[in-house]
Structure 1
Amino acid sequence: MTPLIDVDWWALGPGLALSGGAMLLMLLEFVPAGRNSSRGALVALASLLAAAACVWRVHEVKRALFDGMFVHDTFTVFFTLLFCGIAALSVLLSWDYVKRMRINQAEYYALLLAATLGMIVMSASNDLITIFLGLELMSLALYVLVGFRRSRLESNEAAMKYFLLGAFASGFLLYGIALLYGATGTTHLERMAAFLAGSPLLSNPLLLMGGLLVLVGLGFKVAAVPFHMWTPDAYEGAPTTVTGYMSAGAKAAGFAALLRLALVALPDLQASWKPVLIAIAALTMTVGNVTALLQTNLKRMLAYSSIAHAGYVLVAVVAGGNEGAAAAVFYLAIYSLMNLGAFGIVALLGRDQDEPVLLSDLAGLGFKNPALAFALTIFMLSLGGIPPTAGFMGKFYVFRAAVQAGQIPLVIVGVLNSVVSIFYYLRVTVALYMEEPAGEPTAVSRSIPAVIGVVVSLALTLWWGLQAHALLEQAQRSVLGLM
């Protein structure tokens, strides 16, 4: 007997595992447990491992799901594994942090899994409607996570700003989707591309405006200038582990949706978008790096740094083609790793109430805790793009793709911004090794799971700085899945 709907359960496995894990966490709230119980983290890790195992089980085959609204291809596989990795590292970093901050574990990890599911939906979507649904699932979970410390004014203010501006950006995205539907008669990406192939509609103002409005909506999620105003306050007010998670995961999800849209649905519009993207990329790099120079709060500095890194990824998007897209995917994987590691160390340095970590608080840490200082130094060097770290390889391939595409002026702007960024990253190293502590020494958490997360991030940051070819090949294979 032929089933009414042919469902590939392995391809759907990640969604089922994550949604099942989130529901199980909610049900476990009815079973009493001690304050120091780690069952929430264990359930979250098991769900993420199950999701990764399911997607790896069918990673070689391209499959369409639900009448092509979702597609399981190498691009989906790469980003699903990336999102599961980001979430798993975040769980390790949060293991003792949530206990120290007295955060409800079941709610926290359930929202983390829900946000991860939204990211996966965004990367796998082959339809503008499902991209929007995935984005909203991710965003709603992140709004709550940002404001999780309800007793702190900064957290409440950050969540409110993030929510209001996020809702505003979602309106732009929806309006852009409506205009694209009006111009093409479909929201399905492949059907949209087929409709526009060789069509005189490419110069239609409705189509161009719709594409730009979608770009505005996704630009908010990746914190591109001028849609970045929420970023510093949200990153500073959120729990530190949430900041690390959203700075890596939400940015990667936004770019995954943008790359699929640009390469699958609107490849012929890239020439029309290019001047706008060039301006946004240059502004994003410059504003992020220059403003980061002025910061003394480590979380706020890393927030502006994350804006600048969105600009570097946009350079690869401007380069276009397979090389540019592969460089963007490659850079996103590397950035996620080194940024999570940096925020993991900030979480280890935080006090009981997650008070701000200032650069002055790092004074003398290189002698008091040399292992932690060494790890933070490597992450700062990698974020600055200094060899032999993974950050250098990421920027090298991004700028190489842009040079091959003839974007020499943009590459010059990018290189100059990289030089500027080195100054504020090295300020951290100077504080670690060359300054005397002015007050009480900074407390350091002894969380073993968090240390494991930092060590994994550190090892891969160094390894991919020396042996980047395997990751680059996977990034190139993932982009071929879009063709």
Structure 2
Amino acid sequence: MTDVPQLYRILPEVILTITGVIVMLAEPLLAKESSRKPLGWLSVLGTLAALVSSFWQLQLPAGTAFFGTVQTDAFSVFFHVVIAGIVLATLLATLDAATPDTEGLGELFALICLGAVGMMLMTSAVELLLVFIGLEISSISTYIMAGFRRKSAKGPEAALKYFLLGSFATAFTLYGIALIFGATGTTDIGKIAGLLTTSQTPILATIGVAMILIGLGFKVSAAPFQVWTPDVYEGAPAAVVALMSTAPKAAAFAVLLRVLFVAFPALHNHWQPLIWWMAALSMTIGNLGALRQQNVKRMLAYSSIAHAGYLLVAFTALSPDGIAAASFYTLSYAAMNVGIFVVLSHAGGMNDRLTLIQDYRGLAYRSPLLGATMAFFLISLIGIPFTGGFFGKFYVFASALHSGLVWLTIIGLVNSGIAAYYYLRVVATAYSKPVHSDLLDGIPRASVPLLFALLLTVAATLILGIAPGRVLALAKAGANTLSLPGATTASK
């Protein structure tokens, strides 16, 4: 195998790091009254370069770098592309929603880019300590972004809750890593599975895996670790929530897939029941909680909890098809969820003028573009055919059924039916007879960044719903890079 320069293995991370540092250094040099939007366009260019470099990494032979801590393979590249796409749409949504008097805009662009570096490192890390470092880089950025609206009481409250609960989750993750090191003598993900077969203290490894599940369960807002989600989503700007609700989850799910299926397949009898119950609780609590919400962002927060549950169903399948289904669902959920928050960001602005579902009454008449795209993303979240959400759920539930997980599949299907009610309620409100509303009259005209963000998310959702074959093939190629020794199907 030909030698590959080590920097090529982390090229997207390097590009985003340089972009974030340049934006951070350039921001203080600009006059106080001048616009910070050029820094946003610079961030967009840097993210585009990172996205292109991620696709280019597919040409590289699979391998590791930096003393075996990072690995470039089809699996890591798939999630690099997902995260770069999310960041691109988020930056465009931020450029669209920002006004000349928006404070801290330059810092926000830098934080988005630098936070994405941590998320990408998590997806390519094959060493638990590097996973932890990537998690911290990602978390610190998102804690600050959650409190972006400093003049609103909900902004600092959201950031404080997110930080305090996130710190506890981080501690669980670090303790789990320490216990795994104590049980195996290594934090190398690829070596742990072989050492566990000869370890005399597997109980330490079992407790360590449980602690890592707690820490990452917080990041993906899976029940029973979801309590922070509604308040943080409500307090942060919609454009920031577009990132927070998808990219950190994609990175955390990638870590979970690599850790569970590469390092701990021999312990699947211990962690599979935990995942089973987390999936069932997340789907049920998320959907039942969403039924009661009148605030649209809180409703979508509970929706994200439910979708974390749908995705966890694929983890219980214990097969390459389950890994591929989880990867595909991550991409499809990211496309449609970022899209709906792009719509909310444009309609409500950085200060979220439109907070309640009833505030969107007649939106389709005031802005046919926003009404149509909102309806499209919501029906995709339901799982209607010809959308990415349909094939995402289809592959997840099919992989669970093939593994004999009939009851979990039934729970998922029932919850999908419940979710249809609250999603369609928003669609019906948007297409209801309009009433005079100063809030709706204040919706600005569509901008170029908005059109690009909607084009990106709508196209991705449509392609995943009409022609998912190529993306699924890439997801399966990534799944095949994760070995599954000793894993057997099981039912519950």
Q: TM-score range by the shorter chain?
A: over 0.9
- List per-residue Cα deviations over 1:384-436 (Å, max 9, x = no partner): 11112110110000000000011000000000000000000000111012344
Alpha-carbon separation, structure 1, partners of 2:96 and 2:428: 29
Match of 1:383 among 381, 386, 395: 381
Distance in 2 separating the partners of 1:128 and 1:320: 22
- 2:414 is aligned, of 413, 416, 423, to 416
- SS of 2:438's equivalent in the other structure is coil
| 1:210-229 pair list within 5 angstroms | 210-229=208-227
Instruction: Measure how far apart 1:102 and its partner are.
Output: 0.4
SS of match in other structure, 1:83: helix
- The offset of 1:105, in angstroms, is 2.5
- 1:136 is matched with 136
Offset of residue 282 of structure 1:
0.2
Q: Which residue of 1 aligns with 2:182?
A: 182
Query: How far apart, in 2, do the equivalents of 1:45 and 1:368 lie?
Result: 30
Measure, in 2, the Cα distance between the counterparts of 1:456 and 1:351: 20
SS at match of 2:431: helix
CA contact (8 A) 1:176 1:212 kept: yes
Residue 9 of structure 1 is matched in structure 2 by: 7
- State whether residues 180 and 204 of structure 2, in contact with CA within 8 Å, keep that contact through their aligned partners in structure 1: yes
- 8 Å CA contact 2:9–2:71 kept in 1: the answer is no
- Indicate if the aligned counterparts of 1:322 and 1:476 stay in contact, CA closer than 8 A: yes
Partner of 1:270: 268
Residue of structure 2 equivalent to 1:311 = 309
Greater Cα offset, 430-439 or 316-325: 430-439
**What is the total number of aligned residue pairs between the two structures?**
477
Aligned-pair CA distance for 1:191:
1.2
Distance 1:438 1:277 in 2: 48
Structure 1 counterpart of 2:337, which letter? N
1:199-210 equivalences under 5 Å are 199=198, 201=200, 204-210=202-208
Quote the Cα distance in structure 2 between the aligned partners of 1:103 and 1:452. 24
Contact 1:285 1:417 (8 Å CA) reproduced: yes
Alpha-carbon deviation of 1:239? 1.2
Task: Classify 1:333/1:80 alpha carbon distance in 2 versus 1 (closer, same or farther; 3 Å).
Answer: same
- 1:470 positional shift: 1.2
- Contact 1:330–1:471 (Cα < 8 Å) also in 2: yes
Letter in 1 for 2:234: E
Return the offset for 1:22: 1.0
1:37 offset after TM fit, Å?
Answer: 4.7
Read off the aligned partner of 1:140 and give its amino acid letter: I
**Which residue of structure 2 aligns with residue 48 of structure 1?**
47
Report the counterpart of residue 173 of structure 1 in structure 2: 173
User: 1:346·1:357 contact (CA, 8 Å) conserved in 2?
Assistant: no
1:276, distance to aligned residue in structure 2 (A): 1.3
1:138 and 1:355 mapped to 2: Cα distance? 28
Maintained 8 Å contact 2:9/2:70: no
CA distance in 1, matches of 2:216, 2:152: 29
Describe the superposition over 1:235-260 as per-residue Cα deviations: whole angstroms up to 9, x where unpaired.
Answer: 11011101011101011111010001
Aligned structure 1 segments of 4 or more residues deviating by more than 4 angstroms = none
Partner of 2:338: 340
Quote how far apart the aligned CAs of 1:31 are. Answer: 2.8
Contact (CA 8 Å) 2:119, 2:134: kept in 1 or not? yes
Change (3 A) 1:131 1:37: closer
C-alpha displacement at 1:39, in angstroms? Answer: 1.5
Contact kept, 8 Å, 1:100 with 1:352, in 2: the verdict is no
1:56-455 correspondence runs (5 A)? 56-60=55-59, 61-99=61-99, 102-196=102-196, 198-199=197-198, 201=200, 204-351=202-349, 353-437=351-435, 439-440=437-438, 442=440, 443-446=442-445, 447-455=447-455
Checking the alignment, whether the CA contact within 8 Å between 2:98 and 2:350 is kept in structure 1 is no
Extract unaligned runs of 5+ from structure 1. Answer: none
Q: What amino acid does structure 2 have at the position aligned with 1:181? A: F
Q: Which moved more, 1:55-64 or 1:295-304?
A: 55-64
**Alignment-derived partner of residue 488 in structure 2:** none
- Distance in 2 of aligned mates of 1:35 and 1:235: 30
1:274 Cα offset (Å): 1.3
Change in 2 beyond 3 A, CA 1:188/1:352: closer
Task: Give 1:441 shift.
Answer: 5.0
SS at match of 2:245: helix
Q: C-alpha separation between the residues in 2 aligned to 1:236 and 1:180?
A: 37
Moved more, 171-180 or 58-67: 58-67
Q: Which amino acid aligns with 2:334?
A: S
Q: Is the 8 A contact 1:299 1:356 kept in 2?
A: no
Question: How many angstroms apart in 2 are the aligned matches of 1:380 and 1:6?
Answer: 44
Evaluate the alpha carbon distance shift between residue 6 and residue 415 of structure 1 in structure 2; reply closer, same or farther with a 3 A threshold.
Answer: closer
Deviation of 1:267 after TM superposition, in Å, equals 1.2
Task: Name the SS for the 2:71 alignment partner.
Answer: strand
- Counterpart Cα distance in 2 of 1:32 and 1:178: 45
- 1:266-294 per-residue CA deviation (whole Å, 9 max, x = no partner) reads 11112211111111100000000000011
User: 1:464 Cα shift?
Assistant: 1.6
Give secondary structure in 2 for the equivalent of 1:319.
coil
| Runs of 5+ consecutive residues of structure 2 not aligned to the other structure | 484-492
Secondary structure of the corresponding residue to residue 445 of structure 1: coil
Note the alpha carbon deviations across 1:16-66, whole angstroms, 9 max, x for none. 111111110112124325643522112111211222233332313112111
Distance in 2 (alpha carbons) for counterparts of 1:461 and 1:243: 19
Q: Deviations over 1:201-254 (max 9, x none)?
A: 5x8321111110011000000000011111111111011101011101011111
Q: Using the alignment, how far apart are the partners of 1:291 and 1:438 within structure 2?
A: 30
Taking only the aligned residue pairs, the percentage that are identical comes to: 39
Residue type matched to 1:11 in 2? R
User: Match for 1:456: what amino acid?
Assistant: L
Given that residues 389 and 466 in structure 1 are in contact (C-alpha distance below 8 angstroms), is that contact kept between their aligned partners in structure 2?
A: yes
Structure 1 residue 438 displacement after superposition: 6.1
